[in-house]
Structure 1
């Protein structure tokens, strides 16, 4: 298991990272051309829809886009010059974090026993919460990993077949979007649609149409087929509970609250399930 883990990490670092870095670099090189295409598209709107869009509004919007793009370029340049220490730190983390995970997996029992030694001796309720959380979060993490792998691989195959630019980069983003329920898929739709539109436009071959149909089919199958199969024994949270968790924890902690909404909701659910409502429940927990 440990050897497979090391091989997997080496494949990511030396196999996938160079490809990802190359496509990210190519993407940012073509961003100015994409911006010019967007501006040209906006300038044609008054001719196509004179009753809805005025030329003054389009010129103002174009000016705002130029200013925003110029500010973005300056921010990227200043960030690249001032972030060399951060880059070195990230490289160190890329080496140390896999090693830390390796030793956590290798000495799991020793680490858990050491951490448990700091807890109070009377921890029946904590044990109940831990048992339920361990089972549900374990299923959730395994299910999410498989979902990312399947959705990302399916997207990559479709993008390569259609000949979409930045296929690996976009497929990776689509795969990672499943980490944020509902919101992730909606956000990732925009870059996929923009890259496809600027590459093909609305041509007679219907490449853009096939791209969007394929993308929405993947999202539909993910939400209605893959998720029920992978998470049938996992967290078992109602969609309303997931949405409420995203709103509440996102409002409290922003992006990270949204990112960890389901694990936090699972913790709340585990606490509710094991909390002793009556005295008899307390006695049952202590007997365990």
Structure 2
């Protein structure tokens, strides 16, 4: 019986769940470790994102015989220059537009109430059930709009909160980033030095695949988000939409969430556009559709390629599941985490298939 496949699978799952049960009963042992990891996780993740964005720039400098330390210094200066340009020229405009948008919310609510009152006064041949539903909706309209805006701005505030945490970790991020750029190439040899040559080669192959997946996702998704934000800004400026820069920047930020991000981005633009001119509903929809068609058919395939090779339905399912488990942080990191996990499983499966085939060939 011990040689039967189903028995080995059953034993594996029993041992796995026993291990999970043991860990759940001894969480007090792992709690200090989890706290330590949580304290440095955000700076490491932030530095890791910057690492994958700045590594091509460093290699570009090194291609022209620039020493690595000097190339890293040039990368840091470039990051500081971009941050300075954003703070000096873009942030003041975005801040003013957001403040003006917040201040205009009461007038938007008043416009909605006036429109409903006018409609009720001029259309008397309406069934009582419909009038009752309209009156109920009108009475609860301020509360509904307030809840909607609270959820929307709560989402934005949550994102801003994470940005503030990122800024608070700014002291650690440059140190992590510096050593990642300086010694990143030494990580794989350090890990594989304790293994035999055959296993070391297998691990090098796996780590190379993981590095390629993370690089493709981080670089590709941020480049795609930036291009989509520029396209939205151009479209909003063409139709003379108010708060165009703030809305396009919001669209750029939310577009880092694959597939769901564009739908989140269009909500505030539609709300603002309909109060400015009802025809903006059509124009904004056309702009978003055009931007997404360009992104989906031209930009993403050329920037990200087929490195992730994930079905859209799989991505949406993973994002929704991660969001329900870990909130906004889960939504942000669901796709790269799933892509890395999938890469590991596929790699070991292929390794198992190859080793099994070699054994069968040897027996023949």
In the TM superposition, what is the alpha-carbon distance from 1:90 to its structure 2 partner?
5.1
Counterpart check, 1:224 vs 2:320 = no
Equivalence for 2:307: 234
Which whole-Å CA distance do the structure 2 matches of 1:38 and 1:217 have between them? Answer: 29
Corresponding residue of 1:9: 83
Using structure 1 for the length normalisation, give the TM-score: 0.76
Alignment partner, residue 83 of structure 1: none
**Residue correspondence of structure 1 range 92-103 to structure 2 within 5 A:** 93=168, 95-96=170-171, 99-100=174-175, 102-103=177-178
Who is 1:107 aligned against? 182
Distance in 2 (CA, whole Å) between partners of 1:270 and 1:91 is 28
Does the CA-based 8 Å contact 1:249-1:257 persist in structure 2? yes
Q: Which residue, out of 116, 126, 143, partners 1:50?
A: 126
Distance 1:195 1:74, change over 3 A: closer
CA distance in 1: counterparts of 2:357 and 2:88, whole angstroms: 53
What is the total number of aligned residue pairs between the two structures?
268
Matches within 5 A, 1:124-203: 124=200, 127-202=204-279
- On the 8 A contact 2:213/2:307 being kept in 1, the answer is yes
Residue aligning to 2:104: 30
- Residue 95 (structure 1) shift: 4.6
Q: Which ranges in structure 1 are unaligned for 5 or more consecutive residues?
A: 76-85, 284-288
Superposition deviation, residue 65 in structure 1: 3.2
Q: Secondary structure at the match of 1:163?
A: coil
| Unaligned ranges ≥5, structure 2 | 1-73, 152-160, 359-364
1:137 and 1:130 map into 2 onto residues whose CA distance is 11
Cα RMSD over matched residues? 3.7
User: Contact (CA 8 Å) 2:250, 2:265: kept in 1 or not?
Assistant: yes
Aligned counterpart, 1:82: none
SS of residue matched to 1:179: coil
Deviation at 1:184, TM superposition (A): 1.6
